């Protein structure tokens, strides 16, 4: 949260790393700070001088940059940070005498990460969501159903950037004509079409040859027309209403629960709880003393209009039945993504050990990588 003289900026993020934690850890420490700095520079250019007319943002009493300028600033920050991770680090590594220092510089570039960032301005009530990769942002909005009961609308604020996205396939085909980039639901073997890091798929042939001569390793030397991935995000803008809530999560959650199920589960939780700021250390330790696992909630009982097809959990043909036993809403979603009312399934998943656990319990990263806003913003 960034408290300014006339309003507040709120920024939230999710980073889903692959090939190790280095890139996602770097982004968690630097991306939000970089975006805030770039936006502050942009907004400062629109501070009016005495007697000067300034364009005001919607519902705002202060000068406001054009929407496209805000989007471009966020995009440029993403791309510049990725250039630092991939290209600046490679040049520095090649100029270093110490092998250990060079390897450390290249670690962020060899790994990779998706990034999902939300930027909210309190006075304009505008929420921007920037996505690089396949993490997803979904907004829930309270309404009334035909019976006059609370229900929730589902607003998907980002589109997954992967091999199932026709726009991404078309973009890649234009950039790499004649090459088979996407096959079997993968992009060059990866589940995403945009990412930070992944240097071997971005470095020029000249850089890769120099790195290979110095350090060796798998640098994808047979790639014809790099770069194949980009960190440039797609951005959507939504005007937030009172009592809206936002869920940001990596693909692990959405592999287990649909957009509608997630919004409905948050709505179910809201019927029972008020929002409190808690640290969800564990979905085991966070249970209230009077947790009732016998009160099962069927999918069609969720307070949301279900239009998607019913699905089972991806790692087992188990019927989806939900419970509402957690004081913390993040734990509530994680538990229901890991079996819900099927306590034995949840226990088995939680007790699995690496490396097998990754393919089954990937969603557990959501205990710390999910953010929920539920207030009159």
Of 252, 257, 247, 270, residue with least CA distance to 340? 257
Q: In what order do the strands lie in the sheet with 150-156?
A: 150-156, 136-144, 245-249, 371-374
Looking at the predicted structure, is the pLDDT value of residue 325 above 70?
yes
User: For all residues of the chain together, what is the average pLDDT?
Assistant: 86
**Using CA atoms, how far apart are residues 23 and 43, in angstroms rounded to an integer?**
29
Q: Are 194 and 75 in contact (CB under 8 A)?
A: no
pLDDT in tens, 123-147: 899 999 999 999 999 999 999 877 7
Query: Is the pLDDT assigned to residue 340 strictly greater than 70?
Result: yes
Cα(265)–Cα(138) distance, integer angstroms:
13
- Cα–Cα nearest to 13, from 159, 113, 144, 163: 113
Q: How far apart are CA 169 and CA 146, in angstroms?
A: 40
d(CA 331, CA 335): 6
User: pLDDT > 90: what percent of the chain?
Assistant: 62
Residues 147-188 pLDDT 10s: 778 899 999 999 999 999 999 999 999 999 999 999 888 999
H or E element that contains 115: strand 112-121
Read off the pLDDT of residues 37-51 as tens digits, 9 standing for 90 and up: 999 999 988 876 554
CATH number assigned to the domain with residue range 1-246, chosen from the 4 options 3.30.565.10, 3.40.190.10, 3.60.40.10, 3.30.43.10: 3.60.40.10
Segment 80-102 shows an average pLDDT of 94
Q: Report the alpha-carbon distance of residue 128 to residue 265 in Å, rounded.
A: 24
């Amino acid at each position: 949260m960034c408290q300014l003289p006339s309003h507040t900026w709120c920024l939230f993020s999710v980073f889903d790393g692959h090939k190790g934690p280095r890139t996602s850890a770097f982004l968690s420490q630097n991306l939000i700070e970089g975006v805030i700095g770039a936006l502050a520079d942009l907004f400062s250019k629109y501070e009016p001088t005495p007697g000067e007319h300034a364009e005001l943002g919607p519902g705002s009493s202060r000068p406001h940059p054009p929407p496209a300028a805000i989007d471009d600033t966020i995009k440029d920050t993403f791309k510049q940070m990725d250039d630092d991770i991939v290209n600046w680090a490679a040049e520095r590594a090649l100029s270093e005498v110490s092998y250990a220092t060079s390897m450390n510089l290249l670690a962020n570039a060899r790994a990779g990460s998706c990034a999902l960032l939300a930027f909210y301005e309190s006075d304009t009530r505008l929420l921007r969501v920037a996505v690089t990769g396949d993490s997803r942002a979904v907004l829930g909005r309270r309404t009334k159903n035909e019976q006059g009961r609370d229900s929730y609308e589902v607003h998907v604020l980002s589109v997954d950037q992967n091999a199932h996205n026709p726009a991404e396939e078309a973009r890649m085909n234009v950039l790499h004509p004649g090459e088979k980039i996407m096959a079997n639901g993968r992009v060059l073997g990866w589940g995403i079409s945009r990412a930070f890091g992944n240097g071997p798929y971005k470095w020029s042939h000249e850089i890769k040859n120099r790195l290979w001569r110095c350090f060796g390793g798998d640098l994808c030397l047979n790639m014809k027309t790099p770069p194949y991935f980009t960190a440039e995000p797609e951005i959507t803008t939504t005007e937030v209403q009172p009592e809206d809530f936002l869920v940001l999560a990596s693909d692990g959650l959405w592999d287990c629960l649909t957009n509608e199920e997630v919004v409905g589960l948050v709505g179910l939780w809201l019927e029972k709880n008020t929002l409190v700021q808690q640290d969800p250390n564990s979905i085991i330790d966070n249970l209230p003393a009077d947790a009732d696992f016998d009160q099962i909630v069927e999918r069609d009982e969720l307070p949301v209009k279900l239009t998607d097809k019913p699905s089972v959990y991806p790692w087992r043909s188990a019927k989806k039945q939900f419970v509402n036993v957690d004081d913390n809403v993040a734990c509530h979603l994680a538990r229901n993504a890991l079996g819900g009312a099927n306590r034995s399934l949840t226990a088995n998943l939680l007790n699995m050990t690496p490396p097998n656990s990754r393919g089954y319990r990937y969603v557990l990263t959501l205990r710390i990588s999910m953010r929920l806003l539920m207030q009159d913003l």
